[in-house]
Amino acid sequence: MSIQVGDSIPSMKLMQGTAEGPKEIGTDELFGGKTVVVFGVPGAFTPTCSAKHLPGFVTLAAEFRAKGVDAVVCMSVNDAFVMGAWGRDQGVGEDVVMLADGAAAFTKALGLELDLTARGLGIRCQRFAMVVKAGKVSHIAVEAPGAFEVSRAEAVLAAL
């Protein structure tokens, strides 16, 4: 069963690609006492993720901050180097924190894994977006396979 509104974010580690190399970041630090929008994508550099999903959150980053969001986080089952390169390629700057869940441990703990082995991609993250307030989920939207509607930046902004 996937994570639901009212559930606590599991205490785990994710990785962030930085200029100094990969940096570990704990979910307690990331979500504790803050309002965070986190969206998950099946893969960095993939068509919908690169052309629509991530750019929407970059474009609306100031509007999220204006609504009290402390951070916007993009997460994928990729490594920190790939996520860092994708962030640079997309020009996210400080607007979106790019986090890697390389072994899909966090994705599985959320119950949001997607088996794309038949397509040569292995275990990935479903496309989703959620709002986390002080470590608890206050809104979650998981896309149906192939859809891109409920996890769009505009939809999440409207849910705040």
| Domains of the chain, each with CATH number or no CATH | 13-159 (3.40.30.10)
What token pair was written down for 96?
């979106």
The pLDDT of residue 7 is 97
The pLDDT of residue 116 is 78
Q: Are β-strands 97-100 and 71-76 bridged in parallel, bridged antiparallel, or unpaired? A: parallel
Question: What are the tens digits of pLDDT across the range 75-123?
Answer: 999 999 999 999 999 999 999 999 999 999 999 999 999 887 777 677 8
State yes or no: is 74 an active-site residue. no
- The Cα 106–Cα 77 span in angstroms is 9
Span 129-150, mean pLDDT?
95
CB atoms within 10 A of CB 67: 13
List the catalytic residue out of 38, 49, 112, 156: 49
Handedness of CA 135, 141, 144, 150 (dihedral sign): negative
Residues 6+ apart with CB under 8 A from 51: none
Question: What are the tens digits of pLDDT across the range 38-82?
Answer: 999 998 998 888 889 999 999 999 999 999 999 999 999 999 999
Question: What are the tens digits of pLDDT across the range 9-35?
Answer: 999 999 998 888 899 999 999 999 999
The pLDDT of residue 68 is 97
Q: What is the pTM of this model?
A: 0.94
